[in-house]
Amino acid sequence: MSESLLGQLQTYAAQSNSKVSMPRKGETFIEVDQDHIKDFISHLVNDFRILHLATITGLDLGENIGIIYHLSQDKDTIYVRSIVPKAKSTAVSIVEVIPGAILYEMEIHDLFGVTFTGNPWINQKLLLPDNWPADLPPPLLKTSKPAEIRKRLQLEVERK
Amino acid sequence: MSDEAKLREESAGLMEYSVENLVPFGPIHPALKEPEYFKLILEGEKIVQVIPRIGYVHRGLEKAAESRPWVQNMYMFERTCGICSFVHSLCYGQAVEGLTIYEVPRRAKYIRLIISELERIHSHLLWVGLMGHWAGFETLFMWVWNDREVILDLVEAISGNRVHKSMNAFCGVRRDMPENMEDRIVERMKFITDRAHYYRDIIDSEETMLARTENVGNKINQETAQKLCAVGPMARYVGLRQDVRLNDPYAAYDEVPFDIVTRTEGDVRALLRLRLDELVVSANMISYAVKHLPEGPIRVKIAPIIPAGEHSSHCEAPRGEIFYYVKSTGGRTPDRVKSRQPTMANIPTALELLKGQTLADVPMVLTAIDPCFGCMDRMSFLDTESQKQWTWSGEQLRQYGIKHYFPERFDANRSKFKEAH
């Protein structure tokens, strides 16, 4: 990505009240709130032509769940970060902008319990077993212990 | 709710269909070497919609990584895949190295490149063999897999192992190249180049291959491939110049001359041609790298504690871009490791390729993306407490090892080890 494009991107991000930081060369962190995430990413895709979404990462941040969209172009990686409270873990889907994001959103739904509104397949399981109990917390939260999950799934198998 | 209504809801109005048209493909199916489930919705003979269900071999590596030391994770992530194992440890290693202040020695970068490219050749050969198998051309399968042994022998000579090389370390590699290997490697690379040209002739002239590959697969354009986030050969076969080795060089890719291969036909045969041409490119790169291998150290020792921060890295695995993200809070274990494998990124594209195809072509098209479902899934909960099955934990295995090799050190009272069965 050229320097001027990166400058434009930073100006745009600053205008829309987003925090921008560049800890290392080639890495840009942009914080965007959930209300603007879809607009922001569609702006990146349509106007800046940053087309490749590497993946979407979920993070357990204690009170909140962090969602990072890793967009990249050549040597530059752009981390678009957004935060969803654990109490009401609903996020906006970007499938309309980037159709390739569909499985990544399903993965975060399975492993962190975040529901993406607008994703047509969000109610299907992607990774977790079919007999995953509804009341068991999602496995990648820091409070979930593998031993407990194993014990609970064992009970589910025995119940059958 | 009736089944039909439930299905309608699952498809969320994507299309109207009746239950009769649904053909389940997998999870256990002769065309899939690993368990995965695809819901195929047919209209007559043609596929109109595919819904995937993955996760049958999900092993929980990301969760497991949070409780293991940084260096141990490197060898655990290497076990994500049994084909492209090295590139996983390389990509994780690069993500972690980015958080430290150390530089990777130049010789180590070259060795990393050589192993990566050997791995690409063996992965592509494996895939070409499988394509021959699904096309009903078993001879090709046997020839190609025989040639693959040449590469595996080289890998064994360099690293000591055939599949899980365990060559990587933070800021370097663990083993140096053996002496006097140069001529042998160059000679084998020439052999691979000759064979690749021979296979190119076969797939362009042999009737079985032509019938099963020409114009098979729904043709997609560049824009669709970009929107579906296709990576690796799946992006290059529609003409996109997308290759991490070229766009964001890592290891020694900025010093070794090469050019990537792209094609524009957009069918399964284009993928075959592309991967066979990539064999030649990789073979040339290896020959160049062993001839220009710089002298110097192969490794820098680093502290076991990684400074706080977050970093990501991507590499070009044989199947496409592989991506690792690590977050450190300055402790002995990572706070979060995210790994994304190329198959996961290529599944939306594969679903698009299947549309409009006949059921008989599903194995060809699905194999064409070179799927590696074991990579894509990273977690399953092993049933270790069931009465019918039993497995040993790592600690039990360790205690068994101590008892077997060093009986004088084994303390039955201290250990939890019980002689099972």
Interface of B with A in 4-43 (CB under 8 A): 9-14
Question: Which residue in chain B has the smallest CA separation from A51?
Answer: B226
Is some CB atom of chain A closer than 8 A to the CB atom of B72?
A: no
Average pLDDT over residues B80-89: 89
Cβ <8 Å between B336 and A157: no
Q: Name the band, by pLDDT with cuts 50, 70 and 90, for residue B396.
A: low
Residue B94 pLDDT: 94
Residue B389 pLDDT: 43
Mean pLDDT of chain B: 85
| B39 or B418, greater pLDDT | B39
Residue A61 pLDDT: 92
C-alpha span between B216 and B210 (Å, rounded): 10
Interface of B with A in 206-235 (CB under 8 A): 226-230
Is some CB atom of chain A closer than 8 A to the CB atom of B239?
A: no
DSSP annotation of B30:
T
Residue B41 pLDDT: 87
ipTM: 0.93
Cβ <8 Å between A55 and B55: no
Tens-place pLDDT, residues B152-168: 999 999 999 888 888 99
Is some CB atom of chain A closer than 8 A to the CB atom of B321?
A: yes
Q: Name the band, by pLDDT with cuts 50, 70 and 90, for residue B420.
A: very low
Average pLDDT over residues B137-155: 93
Q: pTM for the complete prediction?
A: 0.86
Average pLDDT over residues B86-113: 93
C-alpha span between B279 and B150 (Å, rounded): 14
Q: What is the dihedral of CA B190, B195, B198, B204, to 10 degrees?
A: -120
* % of chain B residues with pLDDT over 90: 48
DSSP annotation of B388:
S
Cβ <8 Å between B58 and A57: no
Chain B CB contacts of A55 under 8 Å are 323, 325, 338, 340, 344-345
Average pLDDT over residues B29-38: 82
Residue A126 pLDDT: 87
Of the candidates B14, B52, B227, which has its C-beta nearest A98's C-beta?
Answer: B227
Furthest-apart CA atoms within chain B: distance in Å: 71
Q: Name the minimum distance, in Å, from the CA of A6 to any CA of chain B.
A: 17
| For testing contact with chain A, the best of B227, B329, B355 (most A CBs within 10 A) | B227
Checking if the pLDDT of B62 tops 70, the result is yes
Cβ <8 Å between B55 and A127: yes
Q: Name the band, by pLDDT with cuts 50, 70 and 90, for residue B8.
A: low
The list of chain A residues with pLDDT below 50 reads none
Residue A91 pLDDT: 93
CATH class of A3-125: alpha beta
The structural domains of chain A, with segments of one domain joined by +, span 3-125, 128-160
The region that residue B296 occupies, defined by phi over 0 for left and psi between -120 and 50 for alpha, beta otherwise, is left
Residue B110 pLDDT: 95
Average pLDDT over residues B273-295: 94
**What is the DSSP secondary-structure string of B102-148?**
----HHHHHHHHHHHHHHHHHHHHHHHHHHHHHTT-HHHHHHHHHHH
Nearest to A4 by CA among A45, A37, A48, A40: A48
Least confident interval from B74-78, B127-131, B305-309, B415-419: B415-419
Checking if the pLDDT of B384 tops 70, the result is no
Average pLDDT over residues B113-142: 92
Residue B403 pLDDT: 77
Question: Which residue in chain B has the smallest CA separation from A28?
Answer: B311
Chain B CB contacts of A81 under 8 Å are none
CA distances (Å), origin A112, targets A86, B15, B158: 9, 29, 42
Q: Which CATH architecture has domain B61-342?
A: Orthogonal Bundle (1.10)
Residue B385 pLDDT: 41
Cβ <8 Å between A123 and B10: yes
Cβ <8 Å between A120 and B323: no
Size of interface A-B (CB pairs under 8 A): 119
Checking if the pLDDT of B281 tops 90, the result is yes
Q: Name the band, by pLDDT with cuts 50, 70 and 90, for residue B406.
A: confident
Q: How many CB atoms lie within 10 A of CB B409?
A: 8
Cβ <8 Å between A124 and B348: no
Residue B23 pLDDT: 85
Beta strand A76-85 with A27-31 is parallel
Checking if the pLDDT of B114 tops 90, the result is yes
Question: Which residue in chain B has the smallest CA separation from A151?
Answer: B385
Cβ <8 Å between A27 and B311: yes
Residue B51 pLDDT: 87
Q: Name the minimum distance, in Å, from the CA of A26 to any CA of chain B.
A: 10
